[in-house]
A and B are shown apart, each in its own frame.
Chain A
């Protein structure tokens, strides 16, 4: 058992998550902080190649298979679990943290899964863990959690069907690069993309995540979508379709975030936007683009968690989420504001932040592959990121107007978690070499050239100018924007109403039918048992003889069996 703990670090977090609810508070908090670090240690002890095998249904599973790519993702997942746990120490609902650890652990499990069956097992475990994180936010989240679970188990069905078809067709369960040339592979890709927040079902993400608790969304933002990026990097690099899927996601995220009022929904849309950059990079498929996608996943987890910690702190201290209710919080929450701004600058890939050293690799990948359309779209999207998240989030939450709210800073552990990630955002931005050394391909990329820096500064600062000039149009209103989830929420309800009318009709008919039958039966009884009925005549002897004969005949028949 110890050996398998060593050889599958995900089990440290999964087992830890299962035992968490049984620990007293202090031991719980100790476990929360140490288990992710322990997992991180064992992640770095794993040798390259397959180190843990098992037999299952006649197949040899490669439960643990490590290489640079899996190590990169497992590393950031473990760091994320650590910082998320630090941020969430005040979370009284241990169930949420237990679920978050099972969730984080299974995400690490996916990154080390060497075959499709193991991928699927951890994939589904992740869906269960994340659903439980949502459910533990309380009654208000039940509806979203149910929809979230339904969509993800549907994704699981697609993936399972695809894997079964793939195994039937090739006889191999190995999880390697696949060409998109058979129906089962299309299903596998669809299952992966569903978790990435790709169209047409992307609405699950902004529907579900913002309903989680102040700490829950910090965990949720990191694992599901980035595990999807990992499996796409491993399974479908260079699949051209992904370029267009990714570009769609990039602009979908921007447009919907521009229209959004809820600060956590803004950040949820921007997850789709950022994952879109990664998916586009995977679609381009050159070494620099794949490196860029992998690096961007790494940096994205950090700054997105930082943004959500900042938003989570505001939610924790004020209980409010809507831009229309917030504003002016920089007065009493300066640290939360500064950390939020650092996260916002990083997501906008400002020079000297982590986003700059990763996202510009993807753009360069498009340029060196001579994909003009893709490059121009990515440049426009980079400006758009600053617009929809980079300025919008800090502006409407911390500045804008004076909402009159005077919340104090969050507790120490939450501040420390934010400072830790804010530090990483800037450290990676200034000194990207250690991150580059972790990437799957050798890096010959220099992010800080004068041309690059000036170009990005122009792009971002002028998008800032556009933001402030159009501020009147960007003013938040108490609205939401309809998305594809309308079909399974509003549309569904409307459908049910129709169904109700139809069902009502059917019920009325059924009622009438049964009433008529009951009346007929009563009439029948009356005919035979009524005052003039055959069976109620007062001539007992004859009747008795008759019925005895009937009974004897029945016995005779029954005894034949």
Chain B
């Protein structure tokens, strides 16, 4: 069938692995930047180390979980209104 190696370089397995490493390095770098950058804290907690990182991550997890929960009640087949 389709030859995996002939697929676009961007979607090859080893490229994706490298991209994950690169992404991980960038993530670590943005958090490490907090050693050098002073954040003025307006409300206390927002000045703590790596605040943007854990807050952003946590917020996204919570939003996805909430959406999943809401989906249980409100999701319908996309032909719902066509009947």
Chains A and B form a bound pair: yes
Which of A's residues lie within 8 Å of B, judged by CB? Answer: 251, 254-256, 258-259, 261-262, 322, 328, 330-331, 367-368, 370, 372, 375-376, 379-380, 382-384, 387, 399, 402, 450-451, 454-467, 470, 473-474, 477-483, 489-490
The 5 A-B pairs at the shortest CB distance, nearest first, are namely A458-B52, A466-B60, A380-B59, A459-B56, A383-B56
Contact partner of A470 (CB less than 8 A), chosen from B23, B61, B77, is: B61
In the complex, A402 Cα to B6 Cα: how many Å? 13
Chain B's closest residue to A490 (CB) is: B81
Give 1 or 0 for each of B24-66: 1 = CB within 8 Å of chain A CB: 0011001101101111101100100011111111011111101
> A458–B39 contact, CB under 8 A?
no
> A461–B30 contact, CB under 8 A?
yes
In the complex, A399 Cα to B15 Cα: how many Å? 14
> A462–B27 contact, CB under 8 A?
yes
> A470–B64 contact, CB under 8 A?
yes
**Minimum distance in angstroms from A470 CB to a CB of chain B:** 5
In the complex, A554 Cα to B17 Cα: how many Å? 105
The reply on B12 being an interface residue by CB < 8 A is: no
A456: chain B residues at CB < 8 Å are: 52
The reply on B1 being an interface residue by CB < 8 A is: no
**Minimum distance in angstroms from B64 CB to a CB of chain A:** 5
Contact partner of A479 (CB less than 8 A), chosen from B38, B51, B60, B77, is: B77
- Contact size range, B: 35 or more
> A261–B40 contact, CB under 8 A?
no
Contact partner of B70 (CB less than 8 A), chosen from A259, A372, A459, A480, is: A259
Contact partner of A462 (CB less than 8 A), chosen from B43, B56, B78, is: B56
**Minimum distance in angstroms from A462 CB to a CB of chain B:** 4
B60: chain A residues at CB < 8 Å are: 383-384, 387, 462-463, 466-467, 470
**Minimum distance in angstroms from A225 CB to a CB of chain B:** 22
The reply on B5 being an interface residue by CB < 8 A is: no
B54: chain A residues at CB < 8 Å are: 462
Given contacts A375-B46, A451-B40, A463-B57, 15 further A-B contacts (CB under 8 A): A331-B8, A379-B52, A383-B55, A383-B59, A450-B33, A458-B50, A458-B53, A459-B53, A461-B26, A462-B27, A462-B54, A466-B60, A480-B76, A481-B76, A483-B74
